Chain A
C-alpha cells in the first residue's frame, strides 16, 4: 500500500518536476511562461503520435520536444521580441495548443476508432536497488524520464548558481537593462531559456502519454503545467525547492488514488479537486513574491 503510494507519488511528481525545472530557468530569465500548459499538451500528443506511427519511443520523445519547442518559439517571439503581455500571450498559446491537439487527434484517431495506444517506455530497474523495500520501486524501478528529472535537479541548481550561464540568466531576470548594457543580450538569454523550457515541457508531456499511460485523451495535461508554475513559486525559484515542491504536489495527486482505492464515503470529486485546492493553499501560505526575480513578468524592450 505505502510502497504503491510512494511509486505513484514519484510518477505524479515527474511531469510536474520536468516542466517546473524548465519554468524555473525561464522565470530566472525574467519571463512568466503561462504557455507551459500548452507546451506540455502538444508534447503529450505529438510525442505519442510520432511514437505510434514510427513505432519508436525515441522518435516520439524527439517529436514531443520539437512540438513544444516550436510552440515556445512562437511565445518567445511574442514576449521577447514584441514585448507583449506575457499572461495574454501565454494564455493564447494554451488555447492554441488545446485546438491543435484536439483537431489533429480527431483527424488521426477520431474517425477510425482504432486504438491510439503504444507500448509505453519500459521501466529500468537499477539492479538490486529496485528490491529495497518501500522506496525501491519508487526510486529505482522507473522509466528513463524519471531518472532524467531527478538528475536534472542538481545539474540545474549548479548551472544557475555556479556557472557563467547562470549568472547571465539571473542578470536578465533581475536587471535586464544592466544585463543589456553589459552586452549580455537579454533577448538571446530569454530565447535560450524558453527553448530549453520547451524541451523540458515536451518531455513532461511525453511522460504523460508514453510512460505514465500509453494513450492520449483531450486535455490530458489537466492543469499540470499550471501546477508547475505554482511549484516554482512555492520552491522559491530554486531547483532544490522546486524538487521538494514537486514531490509535495505529486504526493497530493497520489493521495487522490490511494484514498479512492481505500473506499471512503467522501465523493471522488473532492479528491480530483484536492491538488488544485492544495496549490492555492500552498501559494497562500508559502507563495510570497519576495524571492521572485525582480523583472519577472515585465516586458522588456531594448532601447
Chain B
C-alpha cells in the first residue's frame, strides 16, 4: 500500500484536473443527445412518422403516469448495474463489451440457487442471491481478464464471444437442468418467495433493486476516486506501460478490474431475477450490456453520473414501447438512438479538444477533457 501511495502522489503531480474543461465535459453529453435527437427526427420523417408526435409519446410512455414512471425506474435499474460495470472497466482501459454475458451468468447463478432458499431468512436469502450473482459475473468477467493478462487475448473480442456463449448456456439451462418441474415451458423453477425482492406499491413493480444500484454507484465512486486501488485502476487506464514501469501489478489489476466489472453486471442479473422475473427465461437481457456503453459514456465514466444517465436510457426504453404501439415504429429505434448518442458524443469530444478544423485535418494534441482512456485505445 505504501508503494501505491508513493506512486499515487507521483501520478497526481502529472495529471492535475482541469476544472473548466470538466464543466464543458458535463455539458457535451446533453448537446450530443440533442443532436442525436435531431438526426433521429430525420430518420423518423424518412419512415413517415411525425418526430414531435413520436417524442411526445416517448415522454408519455416514460413518465406519463405513476405506473409508467415507476416502470421507467424498474427499467433503469439493470442499466445502472451494467453502466457501472462498463465505467469501471473503461476507466482501466479494459474494453469490456461483455456486460451482457456477465449479467446473464449472474442471473443464472442466482436463478439456480433461488428455488432452494425456501427456509432461509429473507435478508439472508436476498444477500445469497446477490452474492451468487456477483460471483457468476465475476467469473465470466475475470475469465476474460485472465485471458487478457496471461494469454494476450484481446478482451474486446473475448468478451463479445463470451456474450454469445452465455446466451447459449442460458438457453441450455432453461431447456435442461434448470427447467421447471412441469417441463411445459423453457423456464426455470420459480425462486422461493423469501428470495424475492418485494413490490412495495403494487401494481407498480417498484422494488429495492434501485436502492442497491444507487448504493453500489456510491461505493464505486468511493473506490474509484478515493482509494489506492481506484487510483491504480485509473493509472492503468491512462497509461498501461507507465503503470507497469511504476511497479503496479498490471496482471493482477487486469484480472481484478474485469472480475469487479463482471460482478457489478452479475449483481444486476441477480436483482432482475430476484425482483422482476423470479425465474430464468431464455432471454434475460434485451442488450443491457451494450446499451450500458452509451450510458457509461454519457456519464463520462463517472459512477455517480451513471444513475441519471441510466435513467435517461431507461426512460427511452420504456417510452419506446408506447411509441411502438402508437406509431408502428419498431422498438429497434432505441438502438439507433444509442448508437447515435455515442457517435455524436465522441465526435464532440474530439472537436472540443482540438477544434473543428484540426479535428478534420489534424493538428495539435488530442487532450480530451473526458478521462484519458477515451483517447487511448487498448494498447497491448
Contact A298 B346 (CB under 8 A): no
Q: Which of B22-63 contact A (CB under 8 A)?
A: 43, 47
Q: Which of B306-344 contact A (CB under 8 A)?
A: 328-330, 332-340, 342-343
> For residue B47, which residue of chain A has the nearest CB?
A107
> For residue A100, which residue of chain B has the nearest CB?
B336
Give every chain B residue within 8 A of A289 (Cβ-Cβ).
152, 154, 380
In angstroms, how far is the closest chain B Cβ from the Cβ of A272?
Answer: 5
Which 6 A-B pairs rank lowest in CB-CB distance, beginning with the nearest? A102-B332, A96-B339, A302-B362, A99-B335, A99-B336, A82-B350
Q: Assuming A87-B377, A103-B333, A267-B176, is B362 touching A95 (CB within 8 A)?
A: no
In angstroms, how far is the closest chain B Cβ from the Cβ of A300?
Answer: 9
Interface presence of B347 (CB below 8 A): yes
Q: Assuming A81-B359, A283-B154, A301-B366, is B335 touching A269 (CB within 8 A)?
A: no
Query: Complex formed: what's the CA distance from A284 to B361 in Å?
Result: 39
Residue B156 contacts which of A87, A100, A106 (CB distance < 8 angstroms)? A87
Contact B343 A226 (CB under 8 A): no
Contact B349 A84 (CB under 8 A): yes
Interface of chain A: mostly helix, strand, loop or mixed: helix
A 218-252 binary contact with B (CB < 8 Å = 1; else 0): 10001100100110010000000000000000000
Residue B362 contacts which of A97, A229, A301 (CB distance < 8 angstroms)? A301
Binds A, one of B13-21, B166-174, B196-204, B251-259: B166-174
Binding site for B on A (CB under 8 A): 32, 34, 74, 77-78, 81-89, 91-103, 105-107, 110-111, 187, 218, 222-223, 226, 229-230, 233, 267, 269-270, 272-273, 276-277, 279-280, 283-285, 287-289, 292, 297-299, 301-303
Interface presence of B354 (CB below 8 A): yes
Other than the given A89-B343, A272-B171, 8 more pairs (CB < 8 A) read: A84-B374, A94-B339, A223-B160, A269-B171, A276-B161, A288-B152, A301-B364, A303-B363
Contact A229 B343 (CB under 8 A): no
> For residue B143, which residue of chain A has the nearest CB?
A280
Contact B339 A303 (CB under 8 A): no
Query: Complex formed: what's the CA distance from A287 to B150 in Å?
Result: 11
Query: Complex formed: what's the CA distance from A270 to B293 in Å?
Result: 29
Give every chain A residue within 8 A of B172 (Cβ-Cβ).
267, 269-270
Interface presence of B205 (CB below 8 A): no
Give every chain A residue within 8 A of B293 (Cβ-Cβ).
88, 91-92, 95
In angstroms, how far is the closest chain B Cβ from the Cβ of A122?
Answer: 32
Give every chain A residue within 8 A of B116 (Cβ-Cβ).
none
Query: Complex formed: what's the CA distance from A83 to B171 in Å?
Result: 40
Interface presence of B151 (CB below 8 A): yes
In angstroms, how far is the closest chain A Cβ from the Cβ of B146?
Answer: 10
Contact B151 A284 (CB under 8 A): yes
Give every chain B residue within 8 A of A87 (Cβ-Cβ).
95, 97, 156, 377-378
Query: Complex formed: what's the CA distance from A233 to B147 in Å?
Result: 15
In angstroms, how far is the closest chain A Cβ from the Cβ of B361?
Answer: 7
Give every chain B residue within 8 A of A34 (Cβ-Cβ).
156
Contact A88 B354 (CB under 8 A): no
Q: Assuming A223-B160, A269-B172, is B335 touching A299 (CB within 8 A)?
A: no
Give every chain B residue within 8 A of A267 (Cβ-Cβ).
172, 175-176
Contact B362 A85 (CB under 8 A): no
Query: Complex formed: what's the CA distance from A99 to B339 in Å?
Result: 8
The residue among B153, B333, B366 with the most chain A CB atoms within 10 A of its own CB is: B153
Give every chain A residue within 8 A of B297 (Cβ-Cβ).
88
* 17 A–B contacts from the bound complex (CB under 8 Å): A83-B350, A83-B375, A84-B349, A87-B95, A88-B297, A92-B346, A95-B338, A103-B336, A223-B164, A269-B169, A279-B161, A280-B165, A283-B153, A284-B147, A299-B377, A302-B361, A303-B362
